Each structure stands twice: as structure tokens, then as C-alpha cells.
Amino acid sequence: MPIAKATPGKSLLNPTDHTLIMIDHQSQMAFATKSIDPVQLRNNAALVAKAAREFKVATILTTVAEKSFSGPMFDEIKSVFPEHPVIDRTTMNTWEDERIAVEVNRLGKGKIVLAGLWTSVCIVGPALSALDQGFEVYVITDASGDISDEAHQRAVERMVQQGARPMTSLQYLLELQRDWARGETYHETVATSIAHGGGYGLGLIYAKAMFGGAEGH
């Protein structure tokens, strides 16, 4: 008979157990992305970036052919990490760039969280490569996108079949917070949810304005 304990499951993410890699959130890549509206994509990328900054998550930012073809990383990400270096690659598979491997090893986390464009190329590549090398891999599917719904869905299925764990941007933020009694991050988590959390954010505005509501805090 299993014994229940008030402790989180080992597969739940916490701020110190993973490296977030945000990949190729760039204009040229977004132009052809059809599986998600570009406004929603930019919103979700901002949510993920703000969550990572708030919780001091080890983060790698990377682009492909920034100056020659794909353009700069979304300002929704760069404005959150204004001084953070961005590794610009030629490889479609981020994992095949030696600088990425060096940085992943330097950060020393056993879990990798991925988000970027396009799902079927720039996310599948590092996801399957990292899994093959023994990392646990999570994919933020609504901060990623592809040239069609079919391409995005098949890519997610392919990664899941190999052991990757899909999640959403708001789920990522709330999984890092996980307890509304964590006062040191409470206010910023709520602010990020209000700014980028869609209907949930509207609910927070309403609750606070109408009756001073707060989530158990």
C-alpha cells in the first residue's frame, strides 16, 4: 500500500533543477509559423521568459543566423534578459553546437526545458538528442510553433513517444510557484499571470478589484 506524503513528485519542475533553452524566437521563423497566432506566441514567450527571470532559472538563449537571415530574438524575451548573452548558431539542431553543450554542462542540470521555433526542427533536434544522452526533457508547446498544425502536432507526438513531457507556458510559471504562501515570488507571479495569463489573468484582476481576493496568501 503506497503511503501519501506531502512532498512534490520528482517529475515536477522546481527553479533549481532544470535549464531552460529558448530557441529561435525570431521574426523570420515566426513569419511562417501557422500553428499558433503570432500575438499569442509572443505573449507566451514573454510569460516563459518572465517566469525564468523571476525564479532565477538557469537559462540559455539562442538564435540561428540572426544577422544574415532570421533577425533578432523577440523583444519580449530580450527585454526580460537585456544583458543575457545570445548564442547565434548555424546548426538547426541546437544540441549540435559545441557552445550549447559547454553551457549545459556548466549549468549542470539534469532536466532540460525547451521552447522555440519550429517545433519539428529546432525543438525535436535538441529534445531527442538530450533524451538520448540521459537528460529529462520538457517542451513548452504553446511557446513553440511550426509551419502547420500537422507539423507541430506530429513533432510533439514524436518527442512524447521518446519520453519528452509536454507542458504550457502558464503551467510552467505556476509549477515553479506551486504554493501561494511563497511570499518572495507571489507578487511577481501574480503580475506575470495578469499580464500574460489570458482569462486567468482577468480573473485575478476581477478578484482583487472586487473583493481584495488573494490565492491563499
Give dist(CA 187, CA 6) in Å, integer: 24
State pTM to two decimals: 0.95
Edge-to-edge, what's the strand order for the sheet holding 111-116?
A: 86-89, 58-64, 18-23, 111-116, 136-140, 165-167
Residues in the chain with pLDDT values less than 70: 213-217
Give dist(CA 65, CA 90) in Å, integer: 6
* Grid cell for residue 213: 481576493
Give dist(CA 18, CA 193) in Å, integer: 21
What is residue 199's predicted lDDT score, i.e. its pLDDT?
92
Burial annotation 188-216 (CB, 10 A radius, 16+ → b, else e): bbbebbeebbeeebeebeeeeeeeeeeee
What is residue 217's predicted lDDT score, i.e. its pLDDT?
52
What is residue 215's predicted lDDT score, i.e. its pLDDT?
67
Catalytic residues: 122
What is residue 48's predicted lDDT score, i.e. its pLDDT?
98
Specify whether the CB–CB gap between 142 and 36 falls below 8 A.
yes
Give dist(CA 13, CA 179) in Å, integer: 13
Full set of structural domains in the chain with CATH? 18-175 (3.40.50.850), 179-211 (no CATH)
Neighbouring-strand partners of residue 136:
111
